[in-house]
Structures are given as structure tokens and as C-alpha cells.
Amino acid sequence: MKNIVFITVDSLRADYVSGRKAPESLETLPRMAEEWLTCSTAYANAPYTKQSFLSILSGSYPWTFESAETGFDPDRGHIAERLSEAGYATGGFHSNTYLSPTYNYDRGFDYYLGRDSGGDEDTASRLASLFNTAVERAVATEGLSELIYWTYRNAGKRLGIQLGSNLYKPAEELNQRIVNWTQRQSEPVFVWAHYMDVHNPYYPREGTVSEGISRRRAVRLFHKVNEQRSEAAESDINTLECLYRGEIEYFDRQLGHLLERLDETIGLEETLLVFTSDHGEAFNEKGCVFHPGSALYEENTHIPVMIDGPDIRGSEIETPVSHIDLVPTILKKAGVELPESVDGRDIAGRDFETASDRVVFTESYDHEDGGLMCTDGEYKLIRDLETGEEIFCRRNAEPENINQPDENESVIYDKLAEALDDHVQSVTDAEVTDTDGDISENVRLQLRKLGYKE
């Protein structure tokens, strides 16, 4: 295996990649679904970024970490470290504040966007970096962060004006940085790229279904719905969903451009390609909007997973898989030994489909009073660990109210309930190491700008 390209995108739900909700103009994603190894029953191990990426880059369940608040545990095996030790040049490309060095995600990367200039920053980028440093020092003053956020929110909500720089780098810019970096490498490369375009706030894109919506209207709408959530008007939700579709169309085009350019620079014939999203997105289907950390329904947990590379045949895997399976799949294909902490399996291995009785889990918040979902691919069980309330249903027909199994389903319910009990016990017994997280005021401010409540 010469090169590895691991592509993740924020907030992309599976039924917008293929199926009735997928935008008709998509080209790259449907082609991948047709030609790559596609996992049709794939789930995020958490419904929001700061927990799901613990699994995506480690192969371990989020609850086995000390805390999502402090990020990647210092003694936990990180995929970039393993591949760097194996001789790969490692580059990480993202613009999500939760994935910054503050949360230890840069471990093992020779180059990490947001930490290193890489020699290709222009004058404007360097000035922006200096400005952001000045802002971070300023907001450290007690009470000033709240004032800045209040000003930002009200300018957006009332005037449709987004103060400050863009909240994330657009795919077009990220693509160029990836290509520039790969052109400078002589060793086999491991590229991890995380795209934020599909994450709220959504912006109108030229040549997509959202091009007729003004940017000011889009900004105002984000702030309005982010405040109202499930109380938002149906017309506002529908407009948001149109903007979301437009972002997916834009990302689809840029993903195609990236693959074309990487084929020119590193060659994709002998390259392992892995694609997924960190979680889905809800548009008030069950009282959830965007991706709250407690949302364990299909809209927020069912994700795309697609893999391509040498000796990987294009086909569909219906056996349930999840984020924890991606690291072992990549490391196995690279011939690299797995860390002992890995919980997942190599889903591209020849014997994987024999696991017909497999269940996968999505964890929400804490294992003491959070939520937990498990599914065998046909049924799923959701449990509130604080109240003990449960929802048991077929995977694609989730009721909003608590449902109990009928006589014919009791065996399946018992199996899933036992799996949930065993999972909670296993993560409770797992050894974790305390970590001290020093989260700056600037980081907290950026997270709130992206719609996170904390």
C-alpha cells in the first residue's frame, strides 16, 4: 500500500448521499457508492463531533476516554502516530475548533493545519493568524468573551451579518493545501482531511439548489433557528434544509476535484481511500434540529462509510459497522500492528461478513447518565441511562414515543438489552487516564459561533 487518504466530512447524513433525499445533481458521492466498498448500515459512535472523533482516529469507543471535554487521551493510540512510526509522511487538514491541538488531535502529524504554516501561507493568512492571536489574548479578559459573542450573535440574527472571519475553511481552499503538501512529500503519505462545508451555518452556493437564497438571509436564519430549535417555523426549517442540500452539492463537486488532483500528484491506483462523516444532521424530524449531543435517532447517527483501494472489491456490506472499525481497517491494509485499545474490526477483511449477528453502539454524553443506542441492522434499542426509559423499534421506523416489543420481537429485544448492559459494563471497567485540558476562551468562542451551546 503506497498512500492512504482518509476523508471525513462534518454533519453529512447517509440518506443525503444515496436514497430519496440525495440531491439529484450529485456525481462524485453516488459514483463512490456504486464503485467502492459501501457500508449501508454504518453508524457514528456518537452523535456529535467532540465524541465521534475520539473513535474515528483511535478505533475505540468514546466512553473509554477520560472525557470528550479534554479531547484525545495522551496515552491512547492515535492512527497518525502509528502510521508515522511505520514511515508514512502524515498530514492533517481541518478547520474544526474541536479538532485543534488544544484537544490533542495533532499527535503524530508531521504537518497539521492550524498548527503549522507548511510554507504555503500567503500574507493574508499570516495576518489573519496574528489577528486571531490578538483576539485570543483580548477575550481572556473576564467578561469580554461574552460581549464579543453577544455582538456576533445579534449582528447575525438581526442584520444577517457574520462578524469576523469565516468559521471554517471552504473545501476549495482545503483541497489546495492538501495538494500543495502532497507535492512536497517523497515518502508514502497518510492524508486525513476533514471538511466543514456541510456543517451549519450553511451558506448559499452558486450552481446549487440554494443559489437563490441571499447570504444575509442564510446567516439570519441560522441564528434564528439555532435559538428556537424545535419551535422553529416549518418554512424556516425547509429553507435551512435547502441550504444544507446546496452545501452537499458544493462539497460533492469539490470532493471530485480533490480525487482528480490527488490522482495526478500521488496516484490513486495504489492508494487506500476511506470516506465517512462524523455524524448526521436533523431538521426537526423528531423534535431535533442540527446535531444535539443527546440525539440518537437515524438522522443523527446513520452515516456513509465507503472504502476503495487495491484488492478491495466494490460491493455492499449490510452487516452493521461503526467508526471504531475504520482505524483497524486502515492499519490492517497498511500492515501496521493495531493498538491494544482498538475495539473495532477490519471491515475490508475477507471474513468480515461472517459476523451476521453483530451489533454496534452510539454513545451520548456520559456512561452514567447519558444515552446509548445499539442496533443489529434491523432493530434498534435506545436507552436513557439516567431515567431507564427505552425506545425499541425497527431501525428505519423509530417512534417518537416509548415502544415495547410484542411477543414475536421479545427475543430480539432481550438480545439488544443484554448487549447494552454488557457495553455499559465494559466501558465502566475500562481503564482511563486523567487528562488536564486547558481550553482557551478563543476556542470556546469559536465553538459557540458554530452553534454549540457550551
- Assess whether pLDDT exceeds 50 at residue 108: yes
Strand partners, 382: 373, 391
Within 275-339, residue ranges assigned H as helices are: 298-301, 326-334
Q: What is the pLDDT of residue 382?
A: 95
- Assess whether pLDDT exceeds 60 at residue 35: yes
CA distance 247 to 243: 6
Among the listed residues 292, 307, 316, 289, the one whose alpha carbon sits nearest the alpha carbon of residue 377 = 316
DSSP labels, 13-78: -GGGTSSTTS-TT--HHHHHHHHSEEETTEE-SSSSHHHHHHHHTTSS-GGGSS-TTT-S-TTS--
Residue that has been written with the C-alpha cell 436514497 in this structure: 19
The domains of the chain are located at 3-356
**116 or 89, higher pLDDT:** 89
pLDDT band at 447 (very low <50, low <70, confident <90, very high): very low
- Average pLDDT, whole number, for the chain? 86
Among the listed residues 415, 448, 272, 361, the one whose alpha carbon sits nearest the alpha carbon of residue 47 = 361
Contact predicate 72/105, CB 8 Å: yes
Residue that has been written with the C-alpha cell 499570516 in this structure: 126
Task: Provide, rounded to the nearest whole percent, the portion of the chain with pLDDT above 90.
Answer: 66
Q: Does the domain made of 3-356 have the CATH classification 3.40.720.10?
A: yes
- Read off the pLDDT of each residue in 256-274 and give the average, rounded to a whole number: 97
pTM of the predicted model as reported, rounded to 2 decimal places: 0.88
